[in-house]
Amino acid sequence: MTSDSRDSEHVTDHDLERYHLGMIVEETELAALEEHLLACSACAERAQATADYIDAMRRAIVEGDHDL
């Protein structure tokens, strides 16, 4: 796998996490990511899994399960 051609690359787990945490604020980056998720079912599935993971994490925090 190469890392020098961003356009043809899938979204990384790290970027999916940043996306769901609302940490991607740059419009061009956000648009590119969302566009890829619409076009790529593999990444859309991973995005859903990441969303579930982050939701579970948030619930744990809200419930006072501070293990961090």
Q: From the CB of 14, what's the least distance to Zn ion, in Å?
A: 14
Interacting residue with Zn ion among 10, 21, 45, 52 (CB under 5 A): 10
Q: Which is nearer to Zn ion, 32 or 54 (CB)?
A: 32
- What is the spatial distance between Cα 20 and Cα 65, in angstroms, rounded to a whole number? 21
Give the length of the chain. 68
Q: Which is nearer to Zn ion, 49 or 56 (CB)?
A: 49
Q: From the CB of residue 1, how many other CB atoms can be counted at a distance below 10 Å?
A: 4
Interface positions, 27-66, toward Zn ion (CB under 5 A): 40, 43
- What is the spatial distance between Cα 55 and Cα 20, in angstroms, rounded to a whole number? 9
Rule CB under 5 A: which residues touch Zn ion?
10, 40, 43
